[in-house]
Amino acid sequence: MTIPNLLLEKYIKKLNEIRNDKNLLNNLKFSTNDSNHFERLKLNLALFNDFKKTDYWIAKYLFEQEVNWRKSKKYYENGEVDNLYFSAFLVSRYQQPEMVIKFFEAKMIDFDCIFGFDGEYLLSNGKEKTYKFLSNSEYELKEKIYKYIGNSVENCEYEDEDLKDWKDFKYQYFEIYILPIEDEMWFLYQIREQKLMENNFKSWIDLQIDWTSENIWKYELYSRYLLDDKNLRIAKKLKSKLK
């Protein structure tokens, strides 16, 4: 069994514990002292690979905590923005139209989110269901959302085909988190399994037949993360030779 398989088994075991005791979910709450950023990602991986419709409450909570993380002034020091987007994509799979409010709030966090958080998320829970939910709601944000996506299905700013293409693209983008995992080292870095990365770093280096800009970039990234000065120097020399 591969390392990613073993890890996902561990994450799914933790997910099952939370399914049986929802109080355990509080251990993944965001705080300024402990962001729990990558621990939430691991649980999202379990949700993604062991998908059950009844887990919506878990996915929603994780997304809300990611939003709290993103609102923090030092979010960039202890996490990856892609984890917020992955959490959003995951919770959209549960097709709950109420998420349009949460998604819009996330998109409006700051200037970077306005451009970085895809507007398609607002309609990712189904165009008809989303507009029906909005028409029956009394949220203050409703009119602002209408200005962004249009005020009806007929006047929607997003075409059905565009939404489908976007969803297909996002699914492909996050395939790194779906078994089977092709690039194990990259997977380990994404979830910050430092010890396992250290154990597999030499093997990864030995497998690189041709040094390209992409794997040199990863070589430098991994070396810096692992505080491996020797390999960091080698990576920088390889990088300079490509210029």
pLDDT one-digit tens code per residue, 102-117 = 999 999 999 999 999 9
Rounded to whole angstroms, how far apart are CA atoms 225 and 94?
Answer: 35
- Give me the pLDDT at residue 78, please: 77
DSSP H helices in the chain: 3-20, 37-49, 56-71, 81-92, 99-107, 111-116, 127-135, 142-149, 160-173, 184-190, 194-207, 213-225, 229-242
Interhelix angle 37-49/56-71, rounded to 10 degrees, is: 150
Given a contact cutoff of 8 angstroms between Cβ atoms, the answer to whether 140 and 101 are in contact is: no
Residues of the chain under the 50 pLDDT cut:
none
- Give me the pLDDT at residue 173, please: 94
- Give me the pLDDT at residue 73, please: 75
Rounded to whole angstroms, how far apart are CA atoms 196 and 218?
Answer: 16
- Give me the pLDDT at residue 179, please: 86
- Give me the pLDDT at residue 74, please: 75
